[in-house]
A and B are shown apart, each in its own frame.
Chain A
Amino acid sequence: MNSKKYLIAILFVVSALFQAACSGNKDAATMAVNAAQESFNAVKGEATQYVPDQAKSVEDALKSAQDNLDKGDYGAALNSAKAIPDSVKELTTAIAAKKTELTTSFQGMSDGLPKMLDAVKKRLDILSASKKLPANLDKAKLEGAKSGYETAAKAWADAQSAFSGGNVAEAVAKATIVKDNAVEVMSTLGMKVPAAAAPKS
């Protein structure tokens, strides 16, 4: 074989080896990015709900890995993707902690909010039967209080339903609306608000 043909053969082999190496890197990077995406997808729903900032960080890291992959920077894509499963593990821990925190919060409110609603209902029933209203109250305020009570009572039913359905974040959000409405109604009626529900000064 003459030297020119030999050189071409060498170049061909080197090129093939280079392509094989690159293809191997590409495959590894693709697999790593796909695996990272799958691991995040498994927790994405709850992560977005309970720890949205942390979820966004992981999503951004994933996007960066994908961008590197698309650009052909397989080394960078692989490095980015390899770190993501650990981040997903941290997300899982954070979700569990947040759920526990919210569940405790809801259980506290579920002890107290029915008591507030009951006290308001009793007072409204009595005031509705009154021939004249007390000094701090007029007809418009009383009607507003009744409407506020109805809103709070419905929100409480919704909160309980959300909690039963496993949607703790929504349950706490709705329970907080109940609390705020009940506090406003009690203040309108001149009632003392329970310490646990009083706005923090």
Chain B
Amino acid sequence: MADEEKPEGAAPDRWDATQWHVVEKGETLSEISQKYYGDPSLYTKIFEANTDVLKSPDLINIGQKLRIP
């Protein structure tokens, strides 16, 4: 599992290499996978990296910050 987000007020980790994506209106995990990997079927990689915030790969919300491994 990728690094957790730091609590508010904590100094940002300037070496943090986690790649983040903020969900936009109408986006699905497949589309996000297409954007970063060129392959929508790899959406499972994104889901697996975000099981702390995603209950299902079909349930993502606008503004959600997702880790992109």
Contacts and interface: CB of A to CB of B under 8 A. Distances in A.
A8 interface: no
B16 A115 contact: yes
Which secondary structure characterizes the binding site on chain A?
A: helix
Interface residues of B, number: 19
Contacts, number: 62
B38 A126 contact: no
B18 interface: yes
B39 interface: yes
Which secondary structure characterizes the binding site on chain B?
A: loop
Interface in A86-139: 108, 111-113, 115-116, 118-120, 122-123, 126-127, 129-135, 137
Contacts of A132: 38-39
B25 interface: no
Contact of B37 (A119, A126, A196, A197): A126
Nearest to A137: B38
7 contacts: A108-B15, A115-B3, A122-B69, A126-B69, A130-B39, A132-B38, A195-B14
